[in-house]
């Protein structure tokens, strides 16, 4: 009795594992096919005809993207400079406040 129960349990496990493997295989093939189609779409977008117009469009697009990158870098540098300037101003303000406190404290001592 026990041997038949264990053998049926192992066959059930084998069936379940085979079903899972088949499901995984199907999912992997779907993932591969979608990634291939996405790559094909990207390649089509990147390719342009090797005509004078196509080359000119490509160069214009390249210049445009380079200008955008330069503008982004400039914006980032400006933000960093503004942040540094704000930090310097804050440091000056705190230093001034400390000096003022020290001065008022020292004048109080002298007056007493």
Asked if residue 3 belongs to a domain, the reply is yes
Asked if residue 1 belongs to a domain, the reply is yes
pLDDT of residue 1: 46
What average pLDDT does range 76-91 have in this prediction? Answer: 95
Residue 109 pLDDT exceeds 80: no
Residue 36 pLDDT exceeds 70: no
Question: Does the CA dihedral 53-59-63-68 come out positive or negative?
Answer: positive
What average pLDDT does range 35-64 have in this prediction? Answer: 72
User: Are 100 and 108 contacting, i.e. CB atoms less than 8 angstroms apart?
Assistant: no
From CA 108, how far away is CA 112, in angstroms rounded?
6
Domain count, the chain: 1
The tokens for 66 are 């380079």
| Residue-range definition of the domain harbouring residue 25 | 1-47
The listed range with the strongest mean pLDDT (2-6, 18-22, 58-62, 63-67) is 63-67
Residue 77 pLDDT exceeds 50: yes
Asked if residue 15 belongs to a domain, the reply is yes
């Amino acid at each position: 009795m026990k041997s038949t129960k264990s053998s049926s349990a192992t066959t059930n496990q084998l069936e379940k594992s085979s079903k899972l493997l088949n499901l995984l295989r199907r999912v992997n093939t779907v993932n591969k096919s979608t990634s291939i189609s996405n790559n094909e779409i990207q390649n089509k977008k990147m390719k342009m005809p090797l005509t004078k117009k196509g080359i000119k469009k490509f160069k214009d697009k390249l210049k445009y993207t380079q200008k955008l990158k330069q503008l982004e870098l400039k914006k980032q540098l400006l933000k960093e400079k503004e942040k540094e300037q704000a930090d310097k101003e804050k440091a000056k303000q705190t230093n001034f406040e400390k000096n003022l406190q020290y001065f008022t404290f020292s004048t109080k001592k002298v007056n007493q």
